[in-house]
Amino acid sequence: MSERLLLRALKGGENTKIITLNGKKITKMPSALGKLPGLKTLDLQNNQIPKVCPEISTLTQLTVLNLGNNLLEEIPEEVKYLTSLKKLHLFGNKICKFASGAYDGLQNLILLNLNNNQLTWIPREVSRLKSLIYLSMNHNQLASIPKELCFLKNLSELQLNYNQLIYIPEEIKFLKKLQKLLLVGNNIEVLPEELCDLINLRILDIAGNFIQTFPSGFQNLKLKEFYCEGNPLFLRQPVNAVQQEDAWSLQEITSRFIMNELAVKNPFIMHVIEQHPQVRNIISQRRKCAICGNYFLTIWLECVEFVPPPKNWKISRNLQLVPLRILICSYKCFNQRGPNLFGIAQV
C-alpha cells in the first residue's frame, strides 16, 4: 500500500505537495523522496523508522515534517538543510541527543514538538531557532534549562511538563512574548523573581512541584489561568516564636554600608568600587528589604506574606491565599511588618 502511494507521488514529480504515510509499518525512509523537490508536507508518523535518509536534505521547500512515534535516537543533522521548515514533530521517539549542527538552517521553524523522548539536556544552540513560537518537550528527562533558550524572543508557548527540572533560570525574564508556561511534575522548589517580568504570561501551570512560596510581585501577573495543585505551599497557621537579636558579620556590616552609599550615589564610594571587581561581584548578589527599602547581602529573615489571588485568575480550587516570599533585613523591620506578613518558623 505504501509503495503504491509513493509511486503515485513520484508520478506527480514537482507537483506533489503532500505525502502522508501514517502507520504503514515503514522501517526505512524511502530514498525516492529526494525526487520530490516541491514537497511541502511529509507525514510519516506511527512507523518504525530508525533514521532519516540523506536524500531528505533536498526537500528545501518542505514546511511540515512529522516523524512522530518512530524509532529515531537523535535529532538528525539532515534537518538543517530544510530551510523552509516551519513545523517539526519528533514526539514519541527514543531521541536522547542532538546531531551536531541540526539547528543551523532552521531559521523559519515556528513549532518544535519533542514530547515523550529521552532527552537529558538542551544544547545552547537552541538560541539559533530565531522564529520559534511553540516548543514542547514534555515527558523527557531534562534536569535544567539553558539560559540560551530564554533568548528566543518570539517564543509564545513553552511546555516542559514531567521532566526533572530543579530550577528556572533568571534569564526567563527575556521571554517577553511568552503567554503559556507549563512546568507540571518537576522538582522545582523556587520560582525566580524574574518570572514576574513576563508581562504577557496568561497561563501558568506548576502543579506537582515542591514550591512553598512565590516571588514578591507574583500576584501582579496578568494571568488568566494558574494551577498549583500538589505543591507544599505555606499555609497561614501562626505560632509564637522566640525573637533573636540581630548579629551581623563584619562582611555584612561593610556590605550594607557600601550598598546603601551606592544607592545615594556617593561619588567617593562609586570611584573606589570601580577598582575592586571582587567587591562588585559580591554586592551584585544584594537583596532589598521589603520594609525599609535598604539593601542587604545575607538573607537575614525570610518571611511570607499571604495575599488573595486576583479575582480574574482561573485557579486551583484549594488556593485561597497566595504565599509570597518576602525578605527582610532585620528584626527591627520585622517588628514593623503588616498584619499579613509572617516569619517562617520550623515547628
Range of the domain at 104: 1-227
Asked if the model's pLDDT at residue 90 lies above 90, the reply is yes
Integer Cα distance of 201 and 186 in angstroms: 20
The pTM score is 0.86
Integer Cα distance of 159 and 183 in angstroms: 7
Same domain (yes/no): 222, 259: no
Question: For residue 246, how many C-alpha atoms fall within 13 Å in the half-sphere facing its CB?
Answer: 16
Question: φ and ψ at 315, to 5 degrees?
Answer: -130, 170
Same domain (yes/no): 161, 92: yes
Same domain (yes/no): 270, 139: no
Residue 97 is assigned to a structural domain of this protein: yes
Integer Cα distance of 305 and 322 in angstroms: 8
Contact 95, 114 (CB under 8 A): yes
Same domain (yes/no): 190, 272: no
160-216 tens-digit pLDDT: 999 999 999 999 999 999 999 999 999 999 999 999 999 999 999 999 999 999 998
Region for 217 from its dihedrals, namely left if φ exceeds 0, alpha if ψ lies in -120 to 50, beta otherwise: left
Residue 234 is assigned to a structural domain of this protein: no
Residue 238 is assigned to a structural domain of this protein: no
Integer Cα distance of 142 and 132 in angstroms: 19
Residue 131 is assigned to a structural domain of this protein: yes
Same domain (yes/no): 254, 190: no
Q: Which pLDDT belongs to residue 107? A: 94
First to last CA, the chain: 69
Contact 217, 193 (CB under 8 A): yes
Residue 145 is assigned to a structural domain of this protein: yes
23-71 tens-digit pLDDT: 989 999 988 888 898 999 999 999 999 999 999 999 999 999 999 999 9
In this structure, the strands spanning 18-20 and 301-307 are unpaired
Residue 237 is assigned to a structural domain of this protein: no
Same domain (yes/no): 259, 214: no
Q: Domain of 163: which CATH number?
A: 3.80.10.10
Tell which of 212, 227, 242 closes a domain. 227
Same domain (yes/no): 149, 274: no
**Cα dihedral 145→149→154→157 (10° resolution):** -20
Same domain (yes/no): 123, 257: no
What is the mean pLDDT of the segment spanning 305-322? 86
Same domain (yes/no): 212, 299: no
Contact 155, 129 (CB under 8 A): no
21-36 tens-digit pLDDT: 999 899 999 888 888 9
Integer Cα distance of 252 and 332 in angstroms: 16
Residue 245 is assigned to a structural domain of this protein: no
Nearest alpha-carbon partner for 203 in 143, 164, 161, 148 = 161
Asked if the model's pLDDT at residue 284 lies above 90, the reply is no
Same domain (yes/no): 97, 206: yes
Tell how many helices (H) and how many strands (E) occur in the chain. 5, 19
Same domain (yes/no): 122, 213: yes
Integer Cα distance of 334 and 327 in angstroms: 10
Where are the extended beta strands (E) located within the chain? 18-20, 41-43, 64-66, 74-75, 87-89, 97-98, 111-113, 134-136, 157-159, 180-182, 203-205, 214-215, 225-227, 287-288, 295-296, 301-307, 314-315, 322-328, 341-343
Q: Could you give the C-alpha distances from 6 to 36, 220, 339, in angstroms and in order?
A: 10, 55, 72
Same domain (yes/no): 21, 117: yes
Count of the separate structural domains present in the chain = 2
136-174 tens-digit pLDDT: 999 999 999 999 999 999 999 999 999 999 999 999 999
Q: Which pLDDT belongs to residue 62? A: 96
Residue 233 is assigned to a structural domain of this protein: no
Nearest alpha-carbon partner for 77 in 63, 62, 57, 93 = 57
